[in-house]
Amino acid sequence: MSGASLAIGDTKAIKQAVRSDPRLLLLRLRTLIALIILVIIFTFTARAFLTSGNIIILVKQVALNAILGMGMTFVILTGGIDLSVGSIVGLAGMIAGGLITEGLLLPVFGISIFFNIPIVIAITLVVGMLVGLINGLIITRLNVTPFIATLGMLYMARSAALLRSNGATFPNLVGNEMLGNTGFPLLGAGTLLGLPWAIWLMVGFVIVTTFIATRTPFGRQVYAVGGNERAAELSGVPVQRIKILVYMISGLCAAVVGLIITSQLVSAHPATGTNYELNAIAVVVLGGASLSGGRGSIFGTIIGAFVIVVLNNGMVLIGLSEFVQTGITGFVIVAAVVLDQFQQRLQRQITLQQAAAQVPENIKGKEPL
């Protein structure tokens, strides 16, 4: 039996267990239910919560957390973790800012090459993927645990961002018409049909990543690796290649977020993205993913991103202290993990009961020969 078949079989068992006990359905929908409750609470306690301006700000922030979380989802589905995404966000911003402000320096020839914005974006995305590739190679080729490998990359990528400008900021990234590199601020401030580009990018990422995770062999192999890596490997799944690719996806998503933030601020700072890896992990965990791998979904991650952002936005609007906000956010994340563990225990119990009930009567009670 292949690793993908094992994952499909587990999914069927879960669906059967959910149908047999309504408590499992409530637990699986817990994040969505929490989001609805938060929206109701803040609607009545914060006048500005449902204003059009606040909703746009809220969804733009959701877009950043969601895009970062979608990349992290693939990593966590394989049983890994990526602590470097926040630093990649900062590095991506500095790469783009440097290319717009200074161009690509060629000291040998004493010139600088300036690129148009699409090429600047493409180079920045490639850099993000290369950092992810390095993460993947360290983990798979050198057998370093994902936590240590990406923790080291967190520092190295942040150091690279700081060294790019000696810790300084690249300000006023509007470009120069004579150099043909104008238009970068449109990525963060531009709109299409009245909605910011960040929101459209999030929608595009949701469609693409959901399709990849649910409709492609690669997606099934990702779940198989996280569900049982040894079984997946024995069934022919290229485990090392899958791991490398998920870290490259995570790096790509982090680079996109870095570009959006830098464009919104019209400046690049090397400290951008600090602690963003914690938000990315939080939205994935809130969305129902298991840190041990094999379980999670893009839809769950999106709902988790909404919960985190709505919670933070609402607490700001009602005037809660920043210290209280941090504590409440931490409590929500821990509660989500506790409920997830309870759901898994209940699910296993129901599955065992169903398996016992399916044993033929003529076999029950017979002693082994």
| pTM assigned to the model | 0.86
Confidence of residue 34 (pLDDT cuts 50, 70, 90): confident
Query: What is d(CA 17, CA 279) in angstroms, rounded to the nearest whole number?
Result: 31
- How far apart, in whole angstroms, are the C-alpha atoms of residue 352 and residue 314? 42
User: Mean of the per-residue pLDDT values for the chain?
Assistant: 85
Mean pLDDT, range 87-108, rounded to an integer: 89
368 in a structural domain: no
365 part of a folded domain: no
User: Averaged over 55-83, what is the pLDDT?
Assistant: 93
The answer to the question of residue 124 being in a domain is: yes
Cβ burial, residue 125 (10 Å; 0-12/13-18/19+): buried
Give the count of domains, the chain. 1
Mean pLDDT of 355-360: 66
Cα pseudo-dihedral 302, 242, 228, 31, rounded to 10: 0
Q: What is the 3-class SS of the chain, one letter each residue?
A: CCHHHHHHHHHHHHHHHHHHCHHHHHHHCHHHHHHHHHHHHHHHHCCCCCCHHHHHHHHHHHHHHHHHHHHHHHHHHCCCCCCCHHHHHHHHHHHHHHHHHCCEEECCCCEEECCCHHHHHHHHHHHHHHHHHHHHHHHHHCCCCHHHHHHHHHHHHHHHHHHHHCCCCECCCCCCCCCCCCCCCHHHHCEECCEEHHHHHHHHHHHHHHHHHHHCHHHHHHHHHHHCHHHHHHCCCCHHHHHHHHHHHHHHHHHHHHHHHHHHHCCECCCCCCCHHHHHHHHHHHCCCCCCCCCCCHHHHHHHHHHHHHHHHHHHHCCCCHHHHHHHHHHHHHHHHHHHHHHHHHHHHHHHHHHHHCCCCCCCCCCCC
Q: What is the domain extent for residue 320?
A: 3-351
Does residue 363 fall inside a structural domain? no
| C-beta neighbour count of 342 within 10 angstroms | 13
Q: Which residue has the tokens 């992290």?
A: 72
Q: Is residue 78 part of a domain?
A: yes
CATH number of the domain within which 32 lies: 1.10.3470
pLDDT in the model for residue 354: 67
Cα–Cα distance list, 165 to 71, 95, 106, 141, 169 (Å): 27, 10, 16, 32, 7
**Cα–Cα distance list, 358 to 3, 15, 351, 355 (Å):** 25, 17, 11, 5
Write out pLDDT tens, residues 326-353. Answer: 888 888 888 877 877 777 777 777 767 7
Q: Is residue 178's pLDDT more than 50? A: yes
Give CA–CA dist 67/130, Å, rounded: 18
Q: What percent of the chain has pLDDT over 70?
A: 88
Residue 58: inside a domain, yes or no?
Answer: yes
Q: Exposure of 41 by Cβ count < 10 A (0-12 exposed, 13-18 middle, 19+ buried)?
A: middle
Residue 92 falls inside a structural domain? yes
Q: What φ, ψ does residue 273 adopt, rounded to 5°? A: 90, 5
Contacts of 23 (CB under 8 A, 6+ apart): 346
Q: Tell me the per-residue pLDDT of 266-316, one tens digit each, with 9 for 90 and over.
A: 999 999 988 899 889 989 988 888 888 888 899 999 999 999 999 888 888
Residue 364 domain-assigned (yes or no): no
